[in-house]
Amino acid sequence: MTDSDLYSPPADDISAVLVLADGTIFWGYGFGREGDTVGEVCFNTSITGYQEILTDPSYAGQIITFTFPHIGNVGTNIEDIETRSPAARGLVIREEITDPSSFRAEHHLAEWTEKNSLVGICGIDTRKLTRYIRENGAPNGVIAYSKDGAFDVPALIKQAKDWPGLEGMDLAKDVTRESNESWDGTRWDLKSGYSVLENPKAHVVAVDYGAKDNILRCLSATGAKVTVVPAETSFDDIMSHNPDGIFLSNGPGDPAATGEYALPIIHKLIETGLPIFGICLGHQLLALAFGGKTYKMHQGHRGANHPVQDLRTMKVEITSMNHGFSVDGDSLPEDVKISHISLFDKTVCGIEHTKKPIFSVQQHPEASPGPQDSFYLFEQFMNMIENHKAA
């Protein structure tokens, strides 16, 4: 087979291609925005919540492969977004987008992806792609969508090769809020939708490295008035809000890169003695602040079925996860102990300080999508705050 044959679409109606940095090619059919997009190609095993996943800021810089074949079956709506616009760079699905069948649907997923400038490809063997990622790690890749089926594949391969990858990349600055925001919305209910916190018990400052809205709702649901501040907010500006507790949010990219500006601030926050709770990137940044190390995972954890064991109670929680970096447990100091581990691969999923009211977890306890087994962590944080205030 010649290069011309390899780089030519196998059928006349082909309108999209996914090209990986090593030259692997998947032909398919495009949807969303025409054009191309480059990022790290990962996979998510969730069978629900595609809209929440696509709008999770932790997916900045990534192209998401959905292993569940039927994507689009509940449509999209204004209530299930986790940030103002999609953070993911593109999406890969097996079948053509399913027509919506839900009383909550407001738009077709194909219409929503085009409106939000997402480039998508369907009709490829997502099982084959997932096996590739499991064996080789998450690669750089490019999705190109052109209705005329004309593609410069060698140029797309070069584009994938030239993209620097997530290691060493600070993406929190790209997805954080630009200014402070007050938050008082609570969790969604089928009958009433979202409600508003009326009688807060405490004030939490949430540092936004790419916070999901549902995390903020969960904080509010436990009784916290929340003030959300941008990722690079100074220690003095954070403390000017007179917080009762500090929350360090989820977010994308390499924690060591974000840590260049975040760690000096976190070091000072630790010294205040205030209760601190971190999730995902916030968890990794806390570990770095304590003197630990993080590393890039082979394929990462992304899905809503990840078993995590609480080593304090030995109970097992089924959790929602989305991360490509992890904390090195052997690098943690003596006064920081591991509280949770993944039962898939024994990686660190939670830490707590033995002398200070500080803890963090790798999983997303707010779910959205996913199980709510870990919601107790928000209540644990609020109990810490109330005990600290009483003391």
How far is it, in rounded angstroms, from Cα 160 to Cα 165?
9
Confidence of residue 91 (pLDDT cuts 50, 70, 90): very high
What are the tens digits of pLDDT across the range 15-47? 999 999 999 999 999 999 999 999 999 999 999
- Active site residues per annotation: 280, 364, 366
What are the tens digits of pLDDT across the range 138-170? 999 999 999 999 999 999 999 999 999 999 999
How far is it, in rounded angstroms, from Cα 117 to Cα 42?
19
Give the global pTM.
0.96
Maximum separation of any 2 CA atoms in the chain, in Å = 75
* Mean pLDDT of all residues belonging to the chain: 95
| Residue of 218, 324, 306, 303 whose CA lies nearest to 48 | 303
What are the tens digits of pLDDT across the range 100-145? 999 999 999 999 999 999 999 999 999 999 999 999 999 999 999 9
| Residue of 356, 343, 204 whose CA lies nearest to 290 | 356
How far is it, in rounded angstroms, from Cα 18 to Cα 14?
12
Phi, psi of 301 (to 5 degrees): -120, 120
What are the tens digits of pLDDT across the range 226-235? 999 999 999 9
Residue indicated by tokens 């998510």: 44
pLDDT beyond 90 at 192: no
> Domains of the chain (ranges plus CATH)?
3-162 (3.50.30.20), 172-390 (3.40.50.880)
What are the tens digits of pLDDT across the range 323-371? 999 999 999 999 999 999 999 999 999 999 999 999 999 999 988 888 9
Cβ atoms of 219 and 180 within 8 Å: the answer is: no
Neighbours of 13 (CB within 10 A): 8
The torsion of the CA quartet 6, 7, 12, 16, rounded to 10 degrees, works out to 120
| Residue of 110, 63, 70 whose CA lies nearest to 94 | 70
List of residues 6+ apart from 164 with CB closer than 8 A:
none
